[in-house]
Amino acid sequence: MKEDLKNIILTEIDALKKEGLEPDIILAGGEFLLNAGDLLVNLNLKIYEVEELGYDAVIADSQALGLMKKASRRVSVDPFLKDRERETWDELGRV
């Protein structure tokens, strides 16, 4: 799960850079930080907790945020948690 999520985050950062932006912040919900916060440590982004985002995070260029429609990308940890929950129930069903 974490490796897939890390790849998605890096892909979104690269997409912003290809559009000429410089992603420098990540706004992350509390649940996102609990489940994937360790992935953000070495990304050279300022991390801000925004409780209202829940399981989501927004990667953005702070200089362009609010000025451009595509100055940010949203990522969610929720689908990965649902996959993990489904796998757990499947495994319990086999026992």
The stretches of the chain forming alpha helices (DSSP H) are: 2-18, 30-36, 78-94
Fold observed for domain 2-94: hypothetical protein PF0899 fold (3.30.2320)
The predicted structure's pLDDT at residue 33:
92
pTM of the model: 0.75
The predicted structure's pLDDT at residue 30:
92
**Whole-number Cα distances in Å, 23 to 11, 46, 69:** 12, 10, 14
Amino acid at 16: L
| Domain spans in the chain, listed from the N-terminal domain onward | 2-94
Ranges in the chain, pLDDT < 50: none
The 10 Å Cβ neighbour count of residue 94 is 6
